[in-house]
Amino acid sequence: MSVPFPDKLDPWRAARTGLCLEGVLAAREFTRIPAPGQVLAPVRARLKAGVDGNGLVRIDLWLEAEMSWQCQRCLNPLGWTQTAARTFEVRDSQDQHTDSQALGRAGTDVEYEVITAARGELLSLQDLIEDELLLALPFAPMHENCKPILGTTDAPRLKPDNPFAALAALQDRNNLK
Ligand SMILES: [Zn+2]
């Protein structure tokens, strides 16, 4: 079932109650995806909060988004399904011992993304999910099989100078005479 994700989350409360969420975020809410990248459909997301055996607050986040972009080889539209998953550790921003605790755990083999938040502070799920989507995006999205534009194997060229801009510059110069 697709229920809208809440905008904000109290990570401390969520961990205490073992919150599990599954839902969607409207595609139009993602404004930081660089053009011509686009989120085409509501993003499916799952979130699970809890406290681990060491008393640390953990949030597992998973998301899946239908994306479109421009292929960096043939420059035609390209669509794909982007997934991302990450575990966050939430630390109390007012806890003076946070750093020494972190050092004490340096030997553990699992890497978590650390979020600091004050007790009772709300996290923006929208921002968290958009951050993860941005991090997961490919650097240069391409079709698996397509022909490069202009029949070369070079990376796509930068846009040629706008011929009208060149004309306008010429005209300006003429007007100065
Ligand atoms: Zn292509």
Taking the domains of the chain in order of start, what are their residue ranges?
8-146
Three-state DSSP class for residue 25: strand
Cα(3) to ligand 1 centroid in Å equals: 35
- For residue 124, the CA-to-ligand 1 centroid distance in Å is 36
Q: What value does the CA radius of gyration of the chain take, rounded to a whole number of Å?
A: 23
CA of 110 to the centre of ligand 1 (A): 37
Gap from CA of 85 to ligand 1 centroid (Å):
27
Please tell me the predicted confidence (pLDDT) of residue 100: 45
Residue 64 Cα to ligand 1 midpoint, Å, equals: 22
Ligand 1 centroid–CA 144 distance in Å is 7
Q: Cα(70)–Cα(64) distance, rounded to whole angstroms?
A: 19
**Phi, psi (degrees; rounded to nearest 5) at 77:** -60, 145
Q: 139 C-alpha vs ligand 1 centroid, how far in Å? A: 14
Gap from CA of 130 to ligand 1 centroid (Å): 26
Q: Give the distance (Å) from ligand 1 centre to CA of residue 177.
A: 48
If phi > 0 it is left, if psi is from -120 to 50 it is alpha, else beta; for residue 106 that is alpha
Q: Report how far Cα 119 is from the mean position of its chain's Cα atoms.
A: 26
Phi, psi angles (nearest 5°) of residue 135:
-65, -30
- The Cα 17–Cα 56 span in angstroms is 14
| pLDDT tens by residue, the chain, 177 residues | 568 888 899 999 999 999 999 999 998 889 899 888 999 999 999 999 999 998 899 999 999 999 999 999 999 999 999 999 999 999 998 876 655 455 445 455 566 889 999 998 999 999 999 999 999 999 899 999 999 877 555 554 445 455 555 555 556 655 554
In the reported structure, the alpha carbon of residue 163 is separated from the centroid of ligand 1 by a whole-number distance in angstroms of: 26
Check residue 50 and give its pLDDT.
96
CB atoms within 10 A of CB 145: 7
Taking CA atoms, 115 is separated from 40, 90, 129, 167, in Å, by 29, 5, 13, 53
Query: Which pair of tokens denotes residue 76?
Result: 């035609």
β-strand pairing of 20-25 with 38-39: unpaired
